[in-house]
Structure 1
Amino acid sequence: MLVKNNKDSIIYFFRSIWLDITAIVIYAVLIGTLDHVTILRQIAIPLPITGIMGTIVALLLAFRTAQSYERWWEARKVWGEIVNDSRTLLRQIKQFLPELEYQRELKEFAQRQTIWCYALSESLRKIPFSEKVLHYLEQHKITANNIPAELLNRHADQLALICKTYQINDNKQVQIDTTIARLNDAMGKCERIKNTVFPKSYSLLIHFLIYVLISILPFGLEDNFPILEIFLTIVVASMLIGVEKTAIIMQDPFENSPTDVPMSALSSVIENNIKEICSDTAIPPLAPDNYYYIN
């Protein structure tokens, strides 16, 4: 998950496009050379046609990139809401329960909310639960197809019990239940983003048009400067492939890659904040030593 910018992020990006760039370089050098020594020299595509094709590709790429970034940014905003609501939930439990009685209940809510954050992030990435999550689930004998949803159900069940036990008034109960409902809504938004697949036909269309443009580009440039023709073909084609790959990377923010929404980092922040709320003691934040890390 992306935590801070680093030269490694650039390396990761180039690793994802190096095959395309290699193919482009080979094609540009080959066609650029043959275009000056063979019958290919007679092939000339008017530059306006190449320009029209380039404009179409640019418009499609701009729309694709905007939609992909919107998905990534929506996912990041949802996790920002999770951070805020996690803090709010524990603060409400701490303030609304009787001072002499809240410690045990607060600890249970704190543990469960922490595990919920880690379980949600790991479920979205479709990876096995971490040891921390598995230990909690085994300890509390929790089994369900949707573990994060079941943990929120346990929140609601415990809330009903403590409201009955400690005579919590209805207004305070509604406030806590509303916070739990917002966490449930945030989980649903994440699942919607995860399960909504970007149209494959649209991706294939853009990819096809990019390679059509790359194929005709050398024949639309002047033949007087072969080195310049090869250079321009490589540069223009690489820019188009780079923009397309950027959109592809951003469109799936929960795919367990370095460009994901930083769910592990945010879960650690939530855990530290919850510990501070429970203990009233400042806890140093965790600082990852790489530009991303995966739990």
Structure 2
Amino acid sequence: MIVARNLKWKQVFFYMWKPMLYFLVLSLVIYILHAKFGMKSLSIPFNAVATLSTALAIYLGFKNNSAYDRWWEARKIWGLLVNYSRAWSREILSLSFTAKNDESQEIINWQKKVIYRHIAFVHSLRVFLRIKHPYNQNKTEIYEGSNQYDDIKDFVSAEEFKSFLDKNNPPNYLIQLQSEDLKYAYRKGWISDYRFVRLDETLTEFNNHQGMSERIKNTPMPRPYSFFSRVFVYLHGTLVPFAFIEDLGWLNVPLSLIINFIFLALDTIGERTEDPFENRMDDTPLTAISLTIETNLKEMIGDKNFPKKQKAIEGVVL
């Protein structure tokens, strides 16, 4: 996620230099043909382009609103995951106990195992969402270094990690292990019927968070929106120089570039916002959220080995 108030222009032009180069060349060619070769027929009515500009602005506004809704929903899902993760740790610590002192250390070990495994679930869900690309085949700009299942090695046993890697849906496997540990604690008498149900309800919420995230990941925004928005932007941008060449002359070149830059920027914003789990610079910051959950849960069980807080790199937090 971009947290810097001001964008770096090198990042902006990295995505827009090709279409802007096309519009620059087009504007120059039209000016040369009109001014040097006297081709007055190149001009088209300004009102025609103005009408198209209005329609395109409405279309891009609708597309960007829909794309932002997807991004904001993803952020709300992971915000709830933070809240329920803290609640899960608190419930594990407060709802599992026994009056027998000789079993107190065993319960403490069980509590830590379950809480550590939840940290593993959060990290694994982050990786699971980012490394799966069911429909987005453009792998450029993906920060692979922050998407490794090895991140969970310290939170599960070697046997669990080996089984984890063999699963088609690794995060779901960890939730299943959590459910089995709840049954174990119930049989040991550490949690009552009511506590078991309460903890299982919280565990179900993690299934819901994963399922909602997978829905956004695996269901792309209707592709005609993305395809036709880019087609309309290029069509509009191609016509703009023809509308101003008669009245502005050489000023038609910079004015056309400014107008086309605005519409290209609007289209690019929507395109890059609609898929929030691709690990790009403007996506939902899953790594930062995962580290926040890890820090909070470790603090709750007295583990001071906190992960390093992620710093913004060139105004970007992943």
TM-score of the superposed pair, with normalisation by structure 1:
0.91
Deviation, structure 1 residue 279: 0.9
Q: Distance in 2 between matches of 1:49 and 1:260?
A: 37
Q: Counterpart in 2 of 1:18?
A: 17
- 1:35 Cα deviation after fit: 2.2
Deviation at 1:40, TM superposition (A): 3.2
Q: Is the 8 A contact 1:125 1:256 kept in 2?
A: yes
2:266 to 215, 230, 243: 243
Once structures 1 and 2 are overlaid, which stretch shifts more, 79-88 or 138-147? 138-147
Letter in 1 for 2:171: P
State the percentage of identical aligned residues.
26
8 Å Cα contact 1:69-1:251 kept in structure 2? yes
Alignment of 1:211-250 (within 5 A): 211-221=234-244, 223-250=246-273
Is the 1:269–1:285 contact (alpha carbons within 8 Å) kept by the matching residues of 2?
Answer: no
Match runs of 1:66-105 below 5 Å: 66-98=65-97, 100=104, 101-105=106-110
> How many pairs does the alignment contain?
293
TM-score (norm 2): 0.85
Return 5+ residue gaps in structure 1 as ranges: none
Q: CA-to-partner distance for each residue in 1:155-175, whole Å, 9 max, x for gaps?
A: 111111102212522222221
| Mapped contact 1:89–1:179 kept (Cα < 8 A) | yes
Of residues 154-163 and 97-106 in structure 1, the stretch that sits farther from structure 2 once superposed is: 97-106
Alpha-carbon spacing, 1:124–1:221, altered in 2? closer, same or farther (3 Å): same
- Displacement of 1:91 in angstroms is 0.4
Structure 1 residues 74, 156: closer, same or farther in 2, change over 3 A? same
- Mapping for residues 79-228 of structure 1, pairs under 5 Å: 79-98=78-97, 100=104, 101-126=106-131, 129-133=148-152, 136=156, 138-140=158-160, 141-142=162-163, 143-221=166-244, 223-228=246-251
In structure 2, runs of 5+ residues without a counterpart are 99-103, 132-143
Amino acid at match of 1:170: D
* Range 260-269 or range 226-235, more displaced: 226-235
In the alignment, does 2:69 pair up with 1:61?
Answer: no
- Is contact 2:68-2:270 (8 Å) kept? yes
- Mapping 1:36-51, distance limit 5 Å: 36-51=35-50
Cα contact 2:31–2:245 (8 A) shared by 1:
no
CA distance in 2, matches of 1:134, 1:214: 52
Alignment root-mean-square deviation, CA: 2.3
Q: Secondary structure at the match of 1:221?
A: helix
- State the distance in 2 between where 1:164 and 1:256 align: 42
Runs of at least 4 residues of structure 1 off by over 6 A? Answer: none
